[in-house]
Chains A and B, each alone.
Chain A
Amino acid sequence: MKKKDYSIKSELLVDPGKKAIDKFLAAIVKSSNDAIISLTLDGVITSWNRSAEKLYGYTAKETIGKTITLLVPRDQFKDNPLALKYLASKQFRLGTVHHFETEGRRKNGRRVPLLLTLSAIRDSLDKVIGASVIARDITTHKEAEAKTNGLAEIIQKNPEPVLVTNREGIITYVNSAWEKLTGWTSAEVVNRKTPRILKSGKQTTQFYAHFWKMITSGKTFLGEIINRRKNGEEYNAEQFVMPLRNEQEEIIAFVEFTRDISERKWVSELLRKSEERLRLLIENLPVCVHEIDLSGRFISMNPSGLKMMGVRTESQICGTFYIDAVSKEDRKRIGILFSRALAGEASQFEFRAASKGEPRIFSSSFIPLREKSGRIQKIIGVTDDITQRRNTEINLAKSEANYRSIFDSVSDLVVVHEIETGRPIDINEAVVKRFGWSKEEYLRLKVEDWSEGHPPYSQKEAFQWIRKAATGKPQVFDWLCKTRKKELFWVEVSLKRATINGIDRILAVVRDISERKKAEAELHLYRKHLEDLIKERTGELEESRNQYKTIVENAPGMVYTSRHPHSLDVLGKHIQALTGYSLQDLQRRKMNWLDLVHADDKKKFIQEVRILESRPSSLRQEYRICKRNGQIIWVADNKKSVFKGKKFLSIEGIITNIDNQKKAEQQIKDQVEQLKSLDQLKNQFLSNVSHELRTPLTPIISQIQRIMVRELPPDEERASLSMILKNTFRLDKMINEVLEISRIQSGRMMLVKRQTNIRDLIGHIVETMEPFAKEKNSFITISLPKIRSMQIDPDRISSVIINLIDNAIKFNGGGEILVNAEVKKKEVVFSIRDHGIGIPSKDFSKIFTPFFRSEETHIYRGCGLGLSICKGIVEAHGGKIWFESKVGVGSTFYFSIPLRQKLEKKIEQKEMKS
């Protein structure tokens, strides 16, 4: 079909009748967006349209008449340009239209990717006379293709980490492999600057500067770099960085391919290190270590080897043959060994060195070294100079010949014995000198002659020693010898089986140790002396300790030492006696002395002992301690602190029980206090008594004076006398009270008991008291028990009742006063109730104290003795007295008298008798 189309076209070209169409066509060609060029079959340009001009930069004038090669990049010149090839091809002539991509060359030299369509131009005879070329610029297309196919695909599918940055180094893309390698996600890194994220700090800033300069200048970078993962781990990476250009050849981005080589790095590092170790080892070995190639030449040698070979540098020895170092005599033997080594057989050997001076002997070895494949690569050898060692051995062998001279020249005494008989057969000069016998004389002597002579220094013992030595075990022992002059001296004998001139002998090396023995003896003496001294000193110590112990045990208190003021290390057994705790008890309970100190005394104790630690001082403390049984006792603690220089060492002290003393003191104190208060009471008493006595005395004195001075009318005189009499009785009553209370207080009150009818007693009292009550607008009511009589002191019980009723009248302020007596259990309880002012609770405890008068009642006359006398009387009867009271409501005084008073009876009987 295509063929047909083009044939129509060419018909149009040749047909003159269709010139209008030609013109029309030419206009299309001219205005077409594609460059349309027509060529001759030789490739000469015959037409050139506008678009062609645009595409290539040449005008029609510049191109028409020239060959198409003008438009082909120079590097395609070698072979004919594609277009020319096609023009010459058979297919073209047969009418094939060629579409192909190629590159064109612009006027400015730049290349341009093109899509060319080449079709034949035929004449009327259908003969191909030329070609038309339609060229389309495909740069944009190519770029897109590169982006999609080239970049994206490569990047995305690359199993190796890829990172893309823009010109400024801002990350624009990373692939998943990169994410995996670094731990960063794409979202985290995109739009961030690379080095910030990846810099490990292992590379210098110069490195980065160089790196950056290199890639921005358009070069690629390939190298190793140490970077950092997100978690801070470093990784070795091989990086390939490549700039990416746009159509204007400007760098628009960088692509970075990374290969993690951390592991590879680590392994090679390890290998390098082990190699390094081996190298060091070889270099420092005191023997020659060398490598020989398969031809027998040295490849390497360590410093010790170079020294041995007498050369300075390795280069002097490398390349020379191993065999050249071997003396001519040994070369054949060594050559055989070398050829065996080449066959894989290791060997060790000695050889004489080929040297001009002193003959030298080397010990050496061949160790074949194989490659992985098993092929022998080289021979390693270790060579040592053993000349000296050999010489020593040779000398040793020779030395036997010098036996005699050595034998005689040694300073030690040497005796050679026959092994079988033990008989001496040879002695050296030293023996002759020391013993004083000639050699001949000596050899004839018996052991006894030159020894102390008695066991264990006789012939028998000497032979035993020799027999033991004959077994091959060297014997060393001390021997007491005797010289020709009968001088005794000590030696140390060393017996040894030895081969002398090929015969087995016993060799005795005798060393004079008389000096040593002397020293030993002295040492022994000294040691003995020392022991004696120690014994003596120990004795002294023991004695002083016993003394101390005796003192401690018999001390009047607990002796102690302590390193801290709050604790003590008690000596002796006193602690248990004092505290009830044994030392073990205290230790078990982790108690120190302070724990025993009474809580109230602790603060003072701690405060006072402070001084002891601060400077040498002594202190006496008295305080209480709590014994194990809870008893609290007083102790005296006399102590002093011991210092060594300025350093506090300890406290030494003695604690004594002063409880009895303290208690006695306390008793005395208490007694003094009691006496003091008694004295105060007495003073109060006197003051009260004198006051109270003076009151009745006032009218007595005044009235007596009146009667004496004046002549009073008879009735006035009688009134005066009656006033005197009344106050005299009052005075008498007061004096009796004072006497009574003093009797009660001194315990000298005597009861005169008799069977008394209580009803009568109370009735009588109330009868006498009623007028006084009436005076105060009070009245007395009585409630009496059925009981008729009981054993009491009626006068004293009366005075109790009178006193209580009197008080009731005084304080009642009008109204009823109830006097009651009733039998309760085994006693009679009397009570006198008033509706008076009452007693304030603060006075409750003092109400029965002698001379006590409440502030509220002191205005009422009285000594303050009434109630205390009542109490004394009631208690003397074995009863009790008490009261109930409420201020403003009134008071009730009770007293009880037991019905049976057994104890009292006895006293009573005694009293009656007396």
Chain B
Amino acid sequence: MNPLILVVDDEEDIRASVKTVLEDEHFRVITANEGRDCLTKLKTIQPDLIILDIIMPGLTTREILMSLRKMKKKIPIIFLTVVRLAETTKKEIIPGSMVDYIEKPFDNVDFISRVKKALRHTMLKTKN
């Protein structure tokens, strides 16, 4: 089965756009519009990767990461940022939880290769 990716972004168009780009590469995609939605969905599904917008209304990134930890879900995460990771946003990220980060707007090819790289990385880890 193709890997399942959870895309979390509050901008509807970004969500939709990212979904199309990933589906073009035959990934299965589920979207969530903010943190709480994301956590709810994680109760029923086990994605192979989460693409998470770093600034969203509702729960903060840190809160989402803490909840993930509580749920004992070890899922690789790629953060979506608009600019380079600022100091304030860096603090939000719990060390070890991030695999990669992608700046918006992005090149589709670069985006897909990073996604695939992240997936390979986790697959190797789980095999070992």
Give residues in A with beta carbon < 8 Å to B.
Answer: 687, 690-691, 694-703, 705-706, 709-710, 716, 720, 723, 726-727, 859-861
Contacts and interface: CB of A to CB of B under 8 A. Distances in A.
B17 interface: yes
9 contacts: A695-B14, A697-B104, A697-B105, A698-B17, A698-B104, A702-B18, A702-B108, A706-B24, A859-B55
Contacts of A703: 17, 20
B87 interface: no
Nearest to B103: A694
Contacts of B20: 702-703, 706, 716, 720
Interface in B88-128: 104-109, 111
A694 B17 contact: no
A691 B21 CA distance: 22
Given A701-B107, A723-B17, A859-B58, 6 more contacts: A694-B104, A699-B13, A702-B20, A705-B109, A716-B20, A720-B20
Contact of A702 (B10, B11, B105): B105
Given A702-B21, A723-B17, A726-B13, A695 B57 contact: no
A434 B94 CA distance: 135
B82 interface: yes
Nearest to A696: B13
Interface string B7-31: 0001101101110110010000000
B1 interface: no
Contacts of A695: 11, 14, 82, 104
Contacts of B104: 694-695, 697-698
Interface residues of B, number: 23
A859 B21 contact: no
Contacts, number: 65
Nearest to A730: B13
A684 to B, nearest CB: 12
A702 B58 contact: no
B108 A698 contact: no
B32 interface: no
Contacts of B18: 702
Contact of B57 (A687, A709, A723, A859): A859
B83 A698 contact: no
B26 to A, nearest CB: 12
A424 to B, nearest CB: 131
B35 to A, nearest CB: 11
Contacts of A716: 20
B108 A706 contact: yes
B105 A691 contact: no
Nearest to B11: A695
A699 B20 CA distance: 10
A763 B16 CA distance: 33
B56 interface: yes
A859 B35 CA distance: 12
Contacts of A726: 13
A698 B57 contact: no
**Nearest 4 pairs between A and B by C-beta?**
A859-B57, A699-B17, A698-B105, A698-B104
A699 B58 contact: no
Nearest to B83: A691
Contacts of A690: 82-83
B2 to A, nearest CB: 18
A710 B24 contact: yes
A726 B12 CA distance: 12
Name the residue among A698, A700, A703 with the largest chain B CB count within 10 angstroms.
A698
Contacts of A727: 13
Contacts of B11: 695, 698, 861
Contacts of A720: 20
B16 A699 contact: yes
Contacts of B13: 696, 698-699, 723, 726-727
Contacts of B105: 694, 697-698, 700-702
Interface string B40-73: 0000000000000001111000000000000000
A428 to B, nearest CB: 129
A702 B83 contact: no
A802 B106 CA distance: 32
Contacts of A861: 10-11
Contacts of B107: 701, 705
A465 B56 CA distance: 134
Contacts of A705: 107-109
Contacts of B82: 690-691, 694-695
A44 B20 CA distance: 187
Nearest to B21: A702
* Residue among A694, A702, A705 facing the most chain B CB atoms (10 A cut-off): A702
Contact of B106 (A687, A691, A698, A723): A698
A726 B17 CA distance: 13
A702 B17 contact: yes
Contacts of B14: 695, 698-699
A860 B111 CA distance: 26
Quick one: which of A687, A727, A859 has the most chain B CB within 10 A? A859
Contacts of A697: 104-105
A687 B83 contact: yes
Nearest to A726: B13
Contacts of B57: 859-860
A287 B16 CA distance: 151
A691 B24 CA distance: 27
A251 to B, nearest CB: 119
Contact of B21 (A687, A696, A706, A860): A706
A82 B122 CA distance: 169
A860 B13 CA distance: 15
A702 B55 CA distance: 20
A699 B11 CA distance: 10
A695 B14 CA distance: 8
A402 to B, nearest CB: 134
A803 B11 CA distance: 19
B110 to A, nearest CB: 10
A786 to B, nearest CB: 41
A858 to B, nearest CB: 8
A694 B102 CA distance: 13
Nearest to A697: B105
A701 B106 contact: yes
B103 to A, nearest CB: 8
A723 B21 CA distance: 13
A316 B106 CA distance: 155
A130 B14 CA distance: 182
Contacts of A691: 82-83
B104 to A, nearest CB: 4
A709 B108 contact: yes
A720 B14 CA distance: 12
Contacts of B10: 859, 861
A700 B20 CA distance: 13
A698 B108 CA distance: 10
A528 B95 CA distance: 106
Pick from B24, B105, B107 the residue with the most CB of A within 10 Å: B105
A655 B28 CA distance: 83
A723 B58 contact: no
Contacts of A699: 13-14, 16-17
B64 to A, nearest CB: 13
A723 B106 CA distance: 16
A709 B20 CA distance: 13
A709 B111 CA distance: 14
A839 B106 CA distance: 35
A179 B37 CA distance: 120
Nearest to A861: B11
Contacts of B21: 702, 706
Contacts of A700: 105
A703 B82 CA distance: 17
A861 B34 CA distance: 14
Nearest to A860: B57
A572 B29 CA distance: 91
A716 B23 CA distance: 12
Contacts of A709: 108
B40 to A, nearest CB: 19
A716 B20 CA distance: 9
